[in-house]
Amino acid sequence: MIGIISAMHDELAELLDILQDKKTVVLGNREYHTGNITNQKVVIVFSKWGKVAAAITTTQLISSFKPTKIIFSGVAGAINPTLNIGDIVYGTSLIQHDMDATPLFPKFEIPLLGKSTIETIVDEKLYQCVEEFNNQYYEYVSPEEANEFGIKSPKIIKGIIASGDEFISDNIKQKQLQNDIPDLQCVEMEGAAVAQVCDEYKIPFHIIRIISDKADHSAHIDFPAFTKQIASKYAKGILENYCS
């Protein structure tokens, strides 16, 4: 069974629509939806926003459903200036940008784990599905929808993703993150927490983030519209193919 997590319902709404033999159980005030996508057993859950919410969801998911791997899909703000709205970041490692236990531990290091970043597990099939989606982009997202959000020729970048309990929306914070974590691609609020839980439970973890904004003063976007019209189509296109 594959566990699939997103922070918001609309990010996986279209994937949930094609879930066959769906059963829903409520645990910890969250709905866990089990079923099949093609012939693959999955459990889909919406974690809510933030690191604590994501960690709670992931721990419950692992304990109750015993997934063989977990995939997180959702939106993020760009830190790499070459990233544009609609681009895809395939996460290779994750860091908590608000983790700072100095002087007891170096900045960003997770206390008692002895590391600042958590690597994701390489999954060539998943990355291939991301590439196939991008190559056939307009089979999933209409030109009109893409134009509405200024999406032009979306690209894929592999790299580090940062998480923190803060919505990044100003240039000063963006520049600080660029200086502190030079190879940082994008920022969000859940992924590194999920990665830490998966690391401690020895569960393979993968993450795909769709760029919804530039994480600066231009971060004022219609998130409900973007997640419903754009991000949900990315998740369905990539993960339906992955499960086939």
Assess whether 213 carries a catalytic annotation.
Answer: yes
What does the alpha-carbon distance between residue 47 and residue 53 come to, in Å, rounded to a whole number? 6
Please, which residues bridge with residue 35 across strands? Answer: 42
Q: Residue 235 has which token pair?
A: 């998740």
Are 212 and 85 contacting, i.e. CB atoms less than 8 angstroms apart? yes
Handedness of CA 41, 125, 95, 79 (dihedral sign): negative
Q: Where are the alpha helices (DSSP H) in 18-123?
A: 51-65
- Annotated catalytic, 11? yes
Catalytic residue among 10, 213, 216, 240: 213
In our burial notation (b when 16+ CB lie closer than 10 A, e otherwise), range 39-76 reads eeebbbbbbbebbebbbbbbbbbbeebebebbbbbbbb
59 neighbors 197 (Cβ within 8 angstroms) = yes
* Adjacent-strand bridge partners of 25: 32
| Active-site annotation holder among 10, 11, 14, 109 | 11
H-only helix segments in the chain? 13-17, 51-65, 124-135, 143-148, 171-180, 191-201, 223-226, 232-243
- Which of the residues are catalytic? 11, 213
